[in-house]
Structure 1
Amino acid sequence: MQSLCGSAFEGTLVRAPEGDDTFRDKRVVMHVRDCTAQRIRIPLVVDEDRSRTWVLTRRGERIELKHDHRHEDGRPEAMTMYGGTSSNAGSADTQMFPAGDRTREAIPGSGLRSVWLMEVHPGERFVYAANRVGTERSFQVDFDLTRPVQAPPAPWGWED
């Protein structure tokens, strides 16, 4: 991910739950915007909505994924900072993040069954997926790493 820092890429919706139009027929852009050795923040922009940022934080041998959601004025949304920590060291190109305690408490019915996946196929694509294991609830966006796009404005709550 460090090698992508500063770059933005457009994504294509691969799958979403039936009736969920949050990303359907919209322009989706990820911007690997803020990178340190311990943390990478990746804003996710959906059309003009700049409310979402993925926050990846190194925790020893593991990586923690949090979803930072903000209102347009920068205030945190009620449902924010949910996610999980990789259950093992993963690999250089694939990490899975089972739901953590905070997520299980915050998202009704998520239990131990919510899991997020990030895959980096260098020079090809970046995959973000969310699944509720054992259900039809599944979501995936693939980002084309072969064609960087213009970086979007700062996400809500950030200084430019």
Structure 2
Amino acid sequence: MKYLYSLLLIVICYQAQAQHTAASVQFWEKLSAHCGKAYEGKLVSPESDPRFQGRLVMHVRSCEDGRIRIPFFVGDDRSRTWVLTMGEDQLIQLKHDHRHSDGTQDEVTQYGGKASNSGSATIQFFPADQFTAELLPAAVGNIWWISVDENSFTYNLRRLGSETLFSVKFDLTKPVDAPEAPWGWKD
């Protein structure tokens, strides 16, 4: 009976582990299905911000093994790329690649965080990592999250302990023409 109980416990743990990793993989696959497509978005919060005036477009431009790169364009500004990486632990990391128009890296780049759990098939959370805390001390309380479903992709930032909330939502039901390459992009 002890043997059967131990075996049952192993099976339950294995199933829990499989379910644990499946959510992040499902999210990854849902996002990867949009590779090569671009979508227009709108600022949700705040409702207006002078730094984000102009047409907002995301382009799921590159889906490589373990890495998805999504340039985010604000009008003619092609400086931002969201970089998602799937680790061997099947947890996803989000980094922000910021470039100048000549392609060189901005001083403030490669900040972000890694999911602390598998999230769900439609949402992943990324608390600020140590690199971010050292690069941008005010961002130590940042939590980014991305949600994706059949209709929309939403990128969000909340800075804990402050009023900072940023959210931009893209309509996945209406692809748009793919924009130019982001600054510094090499295919």
Decide which structure has the larger Cα Rg and report it.
Answer: 2
Q: Which residue does 2:133 correspond to in 1? A: 104
Q: Distance in 2 between matches of 1:37 and 1:26?
A: 33
CA-based RMSD of the aligned residues comes to: 1.4
Q: 2:40 matched to which residue of 1?
A: 10
What is the TM-score of this pair, normalised by structure 1? 0.93
**Aligned equivalents of 1:49, 1:146: Cα separation in 2:** 24
Give the 5 Å matches for 1:69-148: 69-111=98-140, 113-122=141-150, 124-148=151-175
How far off its partner does 1:17 sit?
8.8
Contact 1:125–1:145 (Cα < 8 Å) also in 2? yes
Q: How many residues align?
A: 156
SS at match of 1:80: coil
Q: State the distance in 1 between where 2:57 and 2:145 align.
A: 17
* Aligned match for 1:32, one of 60, 65, 87: 60
Instruction: Return the alpha-carbon distance in structure 1 between the equivalents of residues 71 and 133 of structure 2.
Output: 23
Structure with the higher helix share, 1 or 2: 2
Secondary structure of 1:110's aligned partner: helix
Is the Cα contact below 8 Å between 1:17 and 1:136 reproduced in 2?
A: no
TM-superposed CA distance for 1:16, in Å, is 2.7
Task: Map Cα deviations across residues 103-154 of structure 1 (whole Å, 9 max, x no partner).
Answer: 011113222x1000100012x1101001101311110000000100001000
In the superposition, the TM-score normalised over structure 2's length comes to 0.80
Q: Write the distance in 2 (CA, Å) between the matches of 1:68 and 1:159.
A: 13
**Unaligned residue ranges in structure 2 (runs of 5+):** 1-30
Q: Percent identity?
A: 51
Q: Which amino acid aligns with 1:22?
A: R
Q: Which has the higher strand share?
A: 1
SS of 1:109 mapped into structure 2: helix
- Matched residues in 2 for 1:133 and 1:26: separation? 28
